[in-house]
Amino acid sequence: MTHNFLKQKGELELHIREFQNLMRRLYFNRDKARGFTGTYEWLTDEVAELGEALEAHDTKGIEEEFADVIAWLSSLANVVDVDLEKAALTKYNDRCPKCGRSPCECAFKERKQAASAQGR
């Protein structure tokens, strides 16, 4: 089945749910057989590859790895039966989920500092 995505201003438009459904059509049987642990491991590998592309300032690689990360995130969500679009809109409904404001007014903390403060 071919899916035609909406075109606006010469660019493709795709909603999160549509992309997640595309990943389901393409890969669900393999992802389900792999299970959530194996699918999660693929996702973490792709996030690491994205980090490598970012460090290398490899624009083409960065774009490809972002695509892989969202594909594997969608596959994992399919395996555990989570609607990514619903989850994202529920948590980030035009406001920061911590301070409730838009734009966010939370105090900025470096991730490493926050992790050490929590004993990690």
- Ordered domains of the chain (ranges, CATH): 6-82 (1.10.287.1080), 94-120 (no CATH)
- Residue 85 near residue 22 (C-beta atoms within 8 A): no
Contacts 24+ apart (CB under 8 A), 36-43: 36/76, 36/79, 36/80, 39/72, 39/75, 39/76, 39/79, 40/76, 42/72, 42/75, 43/69, 43/72, 43/73, 43/75, 43/76
Per residue in 73-117, pLDDT tens? Answer: 999 999 999 999 999 999 999 999 999 999 999 998 776 665 566
pLDDT in tens, 9-18: 567 788 999 9
pLDDT computed for residue 1 by the predictor? 42
Global pTM reads 0.81
What pLDDT, on a 0 to 100 scale, did the predictor assign at position 120?
54
- 31: how many CB neighbours lie within 10 A of its CB? 22
